[in-house]
């Protein structure tokens, strides 16, 4: 269900923990699976769980708890805007509203061309750079004023 | 030891104790939901908040370790305000549907809301609603009532050994669920019903059938496996409505297996027979007791007069009580009949020990062994709660090893495992014995011929697990006891025990297996191999309770006289000449001696149904009718005191009475692994509809083999296969089982679909149907 590369990466995650604590590797394993497949179906969660050798429901708990795991198809670029308090005080909602209006979608929605998905995020530990936005869970963008957003969107093809 | 003061009371507690432990030890009640003494600490309900001197805010008692000199106030203003606050939060999303909730009257939330709740809610907004989940035939859900204490989740993971339930999503959206499309299939799943502090998880068979306060609670003892779990049987209008555990730390702790909990459904089954019946000219007719008993007495006398006393055999399952078995034996010896047998599922009757075979140690000590070697046991299905005990032992360092004809998951870590063909169990034990002898540098006992045995690495690993352990046990399960070479398995296991200093134990198959031996109802041998003229059958269904059911059925069908004492009609009806309706465990007083040799007496919890009578009374009257002396008992206690006179302990012994010659043999070809499914093991579980809908019951109806074996036989999963053994044929659905060696065909024994087949272990042929 996953490529050899992804499985090798999961093996590396597993190697970080003692043999009787394989469960600890589930977050990393799900992240790797999601990176390859873009989002986590129930079948994929079950596959990862059996690869890590934990009950599927234990993986499902993790996959449904953390909001960086996607369980529905997302656009080519998933833009996650932090709306926790420090960001909110520094314009996080303005950023979000600007994006909503510009892309014509709300939180949890994807543009018709499948290019962008907008998501609401929790504190990313970068409050000093508020408002903060994350692209595809991996690249962090700081000080996302409307101007900065225009620039960023233009970069994303 | 630490000093602590709770509500002004000073006490000392061992270090490591929590405030909750300390409070419990002096009987101070701290309200709680998620805390449970047998589960890990989750501290997620916050109901147990208490005030602690010098702490800036209330602390959860269940998760706060005691420190020296700590002062705790459980009912101070600060504590009570905190507790009331938590209660208000818990009730915000709770539906408050107590009038239609089965938990009403025994709900911890209801009880605590009386003490800590407000009379009205300040929350006016919409409440959340959670979709119900399908957890299978035993557990009913009303998930909107869930307060997310996570007890059920922790139970499946920590006690049952496999996390079947989880807490998905977060915050307001949190829900308890099994993985999509799965149900809860553990053989001890029903315990989550007791654990759930609210009405989110309730009993499906009991649903909406009574309110808890209408039920009277009566103590009893489980009639199933050899553990003898203590029960609270709940009764309304002389009908058993529900069964719950009676806590007994030395036996079942606070748990029950699903079989103990749900088999009561059979007590109210349509198949109950309530009037004596006599077959005349091939037609069944109701009779009164006097006529039926005279028919039996005259019939037995007639057969003996004509064919001699060896032409009669009496059989009973070891689910019968001490009192019943004792009178059965006494009645038979009055008639001069020696053949009285309870080891009906045995294939090898040759084992002789110095006393009644038993666990070899108290149940409570099992988990404190350093090593346990299981031989021939599907433990989780044979003794569900013992499997649970060993699981807890493994967490504390117990090393578990197994020699088995399958590699079934015990849902705990096995330190070593030797998987053998079912017909090579003796050889498997010999491999380990040889490995042990090698480690110890000792010679094999002279009665053992293991010259042809090579020692595989797995056998060495098993031997290493036992080596050097001060406290270890070797336990023989049902597959060993039902094995065609049981005496050899036993003797080889005894030799390992001798060499390693481990204690040998036998996991009693049935509730009264040990009691049956104490009474001596194990003197008949295979009474169906050579057919008799008359069979006297107590609580026995030939096809389902006897190892070679087909042979037993044929013997019974050809007999001149078959007397059946049974609570149920169906199978007995086909071949008996007279049926005497006798009481199941719930309708008679009696005693079971469990696997540790503990005699547990119980009273009837309801009156016998219709004209049913307790079997001991029936046997007593028969004794009187036949004019025997010593049948004038007035109570079952009198019989028990005579049957079990003196101490039981000195009469238990696993020491071989004489050396058994053990000789390794070779085997090849397709071989049957026949196990009795846990829900076919006795008359009651066979007739409990909800148990018959479980995943375990479904698996029992399949033919299972390794993928390679299936391929070789040209079978695919889902196909139907026809199996032939002796003259018997059965048709089953095919499934793959990775826990089996090649050429092993796992087919349930004593199952409605396989009753035509012969011995549990033996050559078998399989073709696509
Ligand atoms: S279902 Fe019951 S036991 Fe399970 S978390 Fe909810 S309230 Fe607790
Ligand atoms: S609040 Fe947005 S990064 Fe911390
Ligand atoms: S009982 Fe202590 S937090 Fe639940």
Our CA dihedral for B3, B5, B11, B17, rounded to 10 degrees, sits at: -60
Does B167 lie at the interface with A, CB-CB under 8 angstroms? yes
Nearest to B178 among A46, A57, A65 (CB): A57
Enter the DSSP assignment of A31. Answer: H
Does A60 lie at the interface with B, CB-CB under 8 angstroms? yes
The binding-site residues of ligand 3, defined as CB within 6 angstroms of any ligand atom, are B 32-35, 43, 45-48, 60, 62
Asked if residue B346 has pLDDT above 80, the reply is yes
> E strands, B121-270, where?
139-141, 165-168, 175-178, 201-203, 216-221, 230-236, 239-245
Helix (H, G, I), strand (E, B) or coil at B450: coil
Q: Where exactly are the structural domains of chain A? A: 4-65, 77-156
pLDDT at A67: 87
pLDDT, tens only, A14-33: 999 999 899 999 999 999 99
CA–CA dist B577, B282 (Å, integer)? 9
Q: Mean pLDDT over residues B395-423, rounded?
A: 97
Q: Is the CB of A82 under 6 A from ligand 2?
A: yes
User: Burial code of A39-54, b = ≥16 C-beta within 10 A, e = fewer?
Assistant: ebeeebbbbbbebbeb
CATH placement of domain A77-156: 3.40.30.10
Domains A4-65 and A77-156 share a fold: no
The closest-lying atom of ligand 2 relative to the alpha carbon of residue A121 is: 2
pLDDT, tens only, A35-66: 999 999 999 999 999 999 999 999 999 999 99
Question: In chain B, what is the straight-line distance between the N-terminal and C-terminal CA atoms, in Å?
Answer: 70
Average pLDDT of chain B to the nearest whole number: 96
Are B538 and B331 in contact by the 8 Å Cβ rule? The answer is no
Helix (H, G, I), strand (E, B) or coil at B707: helix
- Which residues, other chains included, contact B656 with Cβ-Cβ below 8 Å and sequence gap of 6+? B351, B352, B353, B354, B490, B491, B494
Shortest distance, CA A130 to any CA of chain B (angstroms): 25
Q: Compute, in angstroms, the gap from residue B44 CA to the centroid of ligand 3.
A: 6
CA–CA dist B757, B725 (Å, integer)? 6
Nearest bound ligand to the CA of residue B184: 1
Q: Mean pLDDT over residues B123-135, rounded?
A: 95
ipTM entry: 0.91
Shortest distance, CA A58 to any CA of chain B (angstroms): 6
pLDDT at B59: 97
Does A50 lie at the interface with B, CB-CB under 8 angstroms? no
Does A58 lie at the interface with B, CB-CB under 8 angstroms? yes
pLDDT at B119: 87
Topology, domain A4-65: Arc Repressor Mutant, subunit A (1.10.10)
pLDDT, tens only, B186-234: 999 999 999 999 999 999 999 999 999 999 999 999 999 999 999 999 9
The closest-lying atom of ligand 3 relative to the alpha carbon of residue B44 is: 3
Q: Is the CB of B681 under 6 A from ligand 1?
A: no
Q: Mean pLDDT over residues B276-293, rounded?
A: 94
CA–CA dist B597, B514 (Å, integer)? 7
CA–CA dist B342, B326 (Å, integer)? 12
Identify the weakest region by mean pLDDT among A109-123, B125-139, B314-328, B564-578. B564-578
- Which residues, other chains included, contact B89 with Cβ-Cβ below 8 Å and sequence gap of 6+? none
Closest CA to B723 of B707, B706, B705, B741: B705
Burial (Cβ within 10 Å: 0-12, 13-18, ≥19) of residue B100 = exposed
pLDDT, tens only, B101-116: 999 999 999 999 999 9
CA–CA dist B571, B577 (Å, integer)? 12
Burial (Cβ within 10 Å: 0-12, 13-18, ≥19) of residue B306 = exposed
Asked if residue B571 has pLDDT above 70, the reply is no
CA–CA dist B112, B84 (Å, integer)? 10
Helix (H, G, I), strand (E, B) or coil at B343: coil
pLDDT at A75: 94
């Amino acid at each position: 269900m996953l490529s050899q590369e992804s499985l090798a990466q999961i093996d590396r995650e597993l190697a970080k923990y003692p043999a009787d604590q394989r469960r600890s590797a589930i977050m990393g394993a799900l992240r790797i699976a999601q990176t390859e497949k873009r989002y986590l179906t129930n079948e994929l969660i079950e596959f990862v769980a059996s690869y890590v050798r934990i009950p599927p429901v234990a993986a499902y708990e993790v996959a449904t708890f953390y909001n960086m795991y996607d369980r529905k198809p997302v656009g080519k670029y998933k833009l996650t805007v932090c709306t926790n308090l420090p960001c909110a005080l520094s314009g996080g909602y303005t950023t979000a509203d600007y994006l909503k209006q510009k892309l014509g979608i709300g939180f949890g929605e994807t543009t018709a061309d499948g290019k962008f998905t907008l998501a609401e995020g929790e504190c990313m530990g970068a409050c000093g750079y508020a408002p903060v936005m994350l692209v595809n869970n991996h690249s962090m963008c700081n000080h996302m004023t409307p101007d900065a957003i225009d620039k960023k969107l233009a970069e994303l093809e | 030891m630490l000093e602590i003061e709770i509500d002004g009371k000073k006490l000392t507690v061992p270090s490591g104790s929590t405030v909750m432990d300390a409070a419990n030890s002096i009987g101070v009640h701290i309200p709680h939901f998620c805390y449970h003494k047998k589960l890990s600490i989750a501290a997620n309900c916050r109901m147990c908040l208490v005030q602690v001197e010098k702490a800036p805010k209330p602390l959860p008692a269940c998760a706060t370790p005691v420190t020296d000199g700590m002062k705790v106030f459980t009912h101070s203003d600060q504590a009570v305000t905190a507790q009331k606050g938590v209660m208000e939060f818990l009730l915000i999303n709770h539906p408050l549907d107590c009038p239609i909730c089965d938990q009403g009257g025994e709900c911890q939330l209801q009880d605590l809301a009386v003490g800590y709740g407000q009379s009205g809610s300040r929350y006016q907004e919409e409440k959340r609603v959670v979709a119900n989940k399908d957890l299978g035939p035993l557990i009913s859900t009303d998930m909107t009532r869930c307060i997310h204490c996570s007890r059920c989740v922790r139970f499946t993971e920590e006690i049952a050994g496999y996390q079947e339930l989880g807490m998905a999503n977060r915050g307001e959206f949190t829900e308890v669920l099994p993985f999509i499309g799965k149900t809860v299939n553990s053989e001890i799943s029903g315990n989550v019903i007791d654990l759930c502090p609210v009405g989110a998880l309730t009993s499906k068979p009991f649903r909406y059938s009574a309110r808890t306060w209408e039920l009277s609670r009566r103590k009893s003892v489980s009639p199933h496996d050899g553990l003898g779990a203590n029960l609270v049987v709940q009764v309304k209008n002389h009908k058993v409505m529900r069964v719950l555990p009676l806590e007994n730390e030395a036996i079942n702790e606070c748990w029950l297996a699903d079989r103990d909990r749900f088999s009561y459904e059979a007590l109210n089954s349509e198949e109950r027979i309530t009037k004596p019946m006599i077959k005349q000219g091939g037609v069944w007719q109701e009779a009164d007791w006097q006529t039926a008993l005279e028919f039996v007495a005259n019939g037995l006398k007639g057969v003996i007069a004509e064919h001699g006393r060896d032409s009669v055999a009496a059989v009973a399952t070891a689910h019968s009580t001490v009192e019943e078995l004792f009178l059965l034996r006494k009645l038979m010896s009055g008639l001069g009949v020696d053949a009285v047998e309870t080891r009906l599922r045995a294939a090898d009757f040759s084992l002789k020990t110095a006393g009644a075979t038993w666990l070899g140690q108290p149940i409570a000590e099992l988990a404190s062994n350093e090593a346990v070697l299981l031989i021939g046991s599907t433990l989780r299905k044979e003794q569900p709660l013992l499997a649970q005990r060993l699981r807890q032992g493994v967490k504390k360092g117990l090393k578990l090893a197994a020699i088995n004809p399958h590699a079934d998951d015990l849902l705990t870590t096995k330190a070593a495992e030797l998987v053998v063909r079912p017909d090579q169990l003796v050889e498997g034990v010999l491999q380990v014995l040889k490995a042990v002898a090698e480690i110890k540098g000792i010679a094999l006992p002279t009665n053992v011929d293991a010259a042809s045995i090579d020692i595989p690495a797995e056998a060495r690993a098993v031997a290493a697990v036992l080596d050097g352990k001060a406290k270890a046990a070797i336990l023989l399960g049902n597959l060993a006891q039902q094995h065609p070479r049981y005496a050899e398995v036993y003797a080889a296991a005894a030799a390992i025990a001798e060499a390693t200093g481990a204690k040998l134990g036998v996991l009693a198959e049935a509730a009264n297996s040990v009691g049956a031996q104490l009474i001596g109802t194990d003197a008949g041998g295979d009474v169906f191999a050579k057919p008799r003229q008359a069979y006297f059958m107590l609580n026995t269904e030939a096809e389902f309770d006897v190892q070679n059911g087909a042979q037993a059925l044929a013997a019974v069908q050809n007999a001149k006289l078959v007397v059946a004492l049974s609570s149920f009609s169906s199978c007995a009806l086909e071949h008996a000449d007279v049926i005497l309706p006798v009481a199941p465990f719930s309708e008679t007083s009696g005693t079971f001696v469990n696997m540790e040799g503990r005699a547990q007496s119980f009273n009837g919890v309801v009156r016998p149904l219709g004209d049913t009578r307790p079997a001991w009374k029936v046997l007593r009257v028969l004794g009187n009718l036949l004019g025997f002396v010593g049948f004038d008992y007035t109570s079952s206690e009198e019989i028990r005191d005579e049957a079990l006179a003196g101490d039981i302990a000195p009469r238990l012994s696993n020491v071989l009475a004489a050396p058994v010659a053990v000789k390794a043999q070779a085997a090849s070809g397709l071989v049957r692994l026949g196990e009795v499914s846990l829900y076919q093991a006795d008359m009651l579980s066979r007739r409990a509809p909800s148990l018959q809908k479980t995943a375990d019951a479904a698996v029992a109806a399949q033919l299972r083999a390794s993928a390679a074996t299936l391929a070789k036989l040209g079978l695919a999963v889902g196909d139907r296969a026809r199996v032939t053994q002796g003259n018997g044929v059965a048709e089953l659905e095919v499934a793959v089982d990775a826990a089996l060696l090649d050429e092993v065909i796992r087919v349930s024994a004593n199952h409605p679909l396989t009753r035509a087949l012969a011995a549990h272990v033996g050559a078998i042929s399989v073709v696509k149907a």
